[in-house]
Amino acid sequence: MTEGKSCGVCVVAKVLAGIGALNWGLVGLAQIDLVAQVLGPTSGAARVVYIIIGIAGLLTLLSFAKVCPCARGGCCGGKGS
């Protein structure tokens, strides 16, 4: 990919991390957990969504630290190696 553009994995990770951040903002402001409301608070599906969003957050943090493989390869704003 060209420099300055994000790969698909990074885009999805950033979107999911944003959704997770919005969900936590709603929990903090209004005690509303949208994931739990939509999927059920103790459902397996809700747990999977929380895990996926957690992984997306971790990937987003790693991309900021230039540890993400695609950040080293030139996408996501990385300079390449």
Give tens-digit pLDDT for 18-55: 999 999 999 999 999 999 999 988 889 989 999 999 99
Which tokens sit at 7?
């790969």
Residue-averaged pLDDT of the chain: 80
23 vs 3, 36, 62, 74, 76, CA distance in Å?
31, 10, 21, 31, 25
Q: How far apart are CA 73 and CA 3, in angstroms?
A: 9
Residue 14 has pLDDT above 90, yes or no: no
- pTM: predicted TM-score of the whole model, two decimal places: 0.68
